[in-house]
Amino acid sequence: MRLIAGPTASGKSAVALELARRIGGVVVNADALQLYADLRILTARPSAEEEAQAPHRLYGVADAADGWSVGRWLEAAQAVLAEAGADGRPAVVVGGTGLYFRALTQGLADVPAIPAAAREEAEARFAREGEAAFRAALAERDPAAAERIFPGDRQRLVRAFEVALATGKPLSAWQAETAPTLAAEDWSAVVLEPPRETLYARCDRRLEAMLDEGALAEVEALMARGLDPALPAMKATGLRELAGFLRGEWSREEAIEAAQRETRRYAKRQLTWLRNQTPTWPRLSST
């Protein structure tokens, strides 16, 4: 099994498709937002033409109103990988969601069900105190999680806090006790890591290409559904900025610049995570 990780706009999908075609493999999605059927353009999901060149699994399988967790993705991925194995097809797992790769290679913590009261208390505290104070409170209970979780990732900050609150045990400790889903001898991995300037230029060009392909119509359709902004699909990079343009809050040029800036920032966060969490995986600087 091949694992191909990397930041957005690094060329992962093209590399995965070429490899799958060469070895007769199945491309398996490991990107949290490419799961959603509503986000084909804004997440640069493989096109119908590309999907026709090799089997693709776990792309566009979820509705935007249905928030998938890492555990749900892992369960679905295990079924897909088992099916590929039964068919004698090697799997090529590709994406930019680091936690998905960690779930495969290190396992997923068997945390008990968290009572709704603990979750509500964590959510209320975050809303009341803001991220900085909430992160400081989390650091008292789970310093490893407080340090590891990216700025702005409210969902994972709240999750770490509610687990520590409800179980009396840090989420980091639960995670340290897990067994990997894949045996070490069953997979090899690579991280695509283009030079920073090259990557950022790709991010900018891809946002412009998305607009040409109809990204604004895609965003408008999501806005019309009135979905909870806390849902994962509603946090897609660039969605907030393009929605602001559609609401008349920004000019088109301002929205594009802001969306490009957020895309570059997202790519930088992904690079940082991969460097910290997958330091032994080989790097490929060009595709």
Query: Which residue ranges make up each domain of the chain?
Result: 2-109+180-194+274-284, 116-176, 196-272
The whole-number pLDDT of residue 76 equals: 97
Name the class of domain 2-109+180-194+274-284. alpha beta
d(CA 66, CA 26): 25
The phi and psi torsions of 91 (rounded to 5 degrees) equal -100, 140
**Long-range contacts of range 84-91, CB-CB < 8 Å, 24 or more positions apart?**
84/25, 84/26, 84/28, 84/57, 87/26, 89/24, 89/25, 89/26, 89/55, 90/1, 90/2, 90/23, 90/24, 90/25, 90/26, 91/1, 91/2, 91/25, 91/26, 91/28
Cβ atoms of 34 and 96 closer than 8 Å: no
Mean per-residue pLDDT, 133-156: 92
**Long-range contacts of range 68-74, CB-CB < 8 Å, 24 or more positions apart?**
68/32, 68/35, 68/232, 70/99, 70/100, 70/103, 70/108, 71/103, 71/108, 73/30, 73/32, 73/35, 73/100, 73/103, 74/100, 74/103, 74/104, 74/108, 74/181
d(CA 225, CA 131): 28
User: Which CATH number is 116-176 given?
Assistant: 1.10.20.140
E strand or H helix that includes residue 273: helix 252-277
E strand or H helix that includes residue 204: helix 196-213
Reading across the β-sheet that carries 56-57, which strands appear in turn?
56-57, 26-29, 91-95, 2-5, 188-192, 283-284
* Tens digits of residue pLDDT in 212-261: 999 999 999 999 999 999 899 999 999 999 999 999 999 999 999 999 99
What's the sign of the alpha-carbon dihedral 100, 102, 108, 111? negative
Q: Which amino acid is at 267?
A: A
d(CA 229, CA 223): 10
Q: Angle formed by the axes of helices 98-106 and 252-277, to 10°?
A: 20
Helices and strands (DSSP H and E) totals, the chain: 13, 6
Q: Is it the case that residue 287 has pLDDT exceeding 70?
A: no
Say which residue, 155 or 160, is predicted with more confidence.
Answer: 160
* Tens digits of residue pLDDT in 166-206: 999 999 998 887 778 899 899 999 999 999 999 999 999 99
pTM: 0.82
The whole-number pLDDT of residue 181 equals: 87
Q: Is it the case that residue 286 has pLDDT exceeding 80?
A: no
The whole-number pLDDT of residue 1 equals: 96
E strand or H helix that includes residue 235: none
d(CA 40, CA 36): 8
* Tens digits of residue pLDDT in 87-124: 999 999 999 999 999 999 988 877 888 999 999 999 99
Name the class of domain 196-272. mainly alpha
The whole-number pLDDT of residue 82 equals: 96
Cβ atoms of 251 and 241 closer than 8 Å: no
Percentage of the chain with pLDDT > 90?
A: 86
The whole-number pLDDT of residue 134 equals: 97
